[in-house]
Amino acid sequence: MAGTDKEREMLAEGPTVILVEPQLGENIGMVARAMANFGLAELRLVNPRDGWPNEKARAAASRADHIIDAVTVHDDLETAVSDLNFIYATTARPRDNFKPVREPVESAAELRARHTGGQKTGILFGRERWGLTNEEVAMADEIVTFPVNPAFASLNIAQAVLLMSYEWLKTGEKGAAPTLPRQTPATKEHLNNLMDYLDRVLSERGYFRTDDKKPKMMDNLRALFTRPGFTVEELAVLRGVLTSLEKFSPKRPKGGER
């Protein structure tokens, strides 16, 4: 009957989904489909193995063309998250890097509160076979893990994205006003600039002692500076203090006297 079919509103908001080095186009397409099912719209890819665009991804997306058409591809994770204020990393285990660990319900509520407060948020998903590296997890603010059967804990990317997308959509149906953060944290670009600065000045002064210890020490430093959720202004103050100290701190050759 004419006029009875009404076009429904397309939900398209919420956190950005970032896939790190996805392998199969079909998996990317199924991720897009899961996102569309629950109202997420922005998908970013870091170094997809089979390149982009990918017709297998479009076919598997099952008409989620608005997501496939808007995909952006990035050479590295640092670039992919530079404009985001807050990020969750999805992992199968908590990891030993001082980050808070949440379950999907709790993390989705946090994402909703930050989104409502005007922040740009994202969720990292790792490779199909072995997930995210410790260095990649270190770029996130917090970790989200899924309560699954410990004897069969493996989730594919699309399943993980679907679970997070579902929990995200549910938070918008409750009608309760979320508690908003009092200040907007700096973007990851500001934090990455600080980490590059620390890498340079600490290397010049022999802080890392040996090259093999440097990656873990930088991961720990990144976790330290990520956890408070610094604002742009606070990072600027911190950078000013460090720059002032640098002017009066003599450089020490790497491997010098300790």
Query: pLDDT tens across 111-128, in order?
Result: 999 999 899 999 999 998
pLDDT of residue 172: 86
pLDDT of residue 11: 55
Instruction: Please say if the pLDDT value at position 153 is more than 80.
Output: no
Residues 123 and 213 in one domain: no
Residues 93 and 209 in one domain: no
Q: What average pLDDT score do residues 162-170 get?
A: 95
- Judge whether 35 lies within some domain: yes
Instruction: Please say if the pLDDT value at position 175 is more than 80.
Output: no
Residue 44 in contact with residue 19, Cβ under 8 Å?
Answer: yes
pLDDT of residue 3: 41
- Judge whether 69 lies within some domain: yes
76 φ/ψ sector (left φ>0, alpha ψ -120 to 50, else beta): beta
Band the pLDDT of 218: cuts 50, 70, 90: confident
pLDDT of residue 253: 55
- Judge whether 236 lies within some domain: yes
- CA-wise closest residue to 230 among 172, 186, 165: 186
Residues 109 and 164 in one domain: yes
- Judge whether 41 lies within some domain: yes
Q: What average pLDDT score do residues 208-215 get?
A: 82
Q: Single out the residue in 171, 203, 230 at which a domain terminates.
A: 171
- Judge whether 253 lies within some domain: no
DSSP state of 93: S
What total of structural domains would you count in the chain? 2
Residues 6+ apart with CB under 8 A from 182: none
Q: Write out the two tokens for 26.
A: 């079909």
Which sign, positive or negative, has the C-alpha torsion 208, 132, 44, 174?
A: negative
- Judge whether 254 lies within some domain: no
Residues 119 and 233 in one domain: no
How high is the mean pLDDT of the chain?
84
Residues 118 and 223 in one domain: no
Q: Single out the residue in 126, 144, 171 at which a domain terminates.
A: 171
Q: What average pLDDT score do residues 56-78 get?
A: 96
Q: Give me the domain span that covers residue 98.
A: 16-171
Cis status of the peptide bond prior to 215, with omega within 30 of 0: no
Q: What average pLDDT score do residues 58-83 get?
A: 96
Residues 123 and 49 in one domain: yes
Instruction: Please say if the pLDDT value at position 255 is more than 80.
Output: no
Band the pLDDT of 180: cuts 50, 70, 90: low
| Domain harbouring 100, CATH code | 3.40.1280.10
Residues 216 and 154 in one domain: no
Instruction: Please say if the pLDDT value at position 249 is more than 70.
Output: no
pLDDT of residue 81: 96
Band the pLDDT of 66: cuts 50, 70, 90: very high
Residues 103 and 138 in one domain: yes
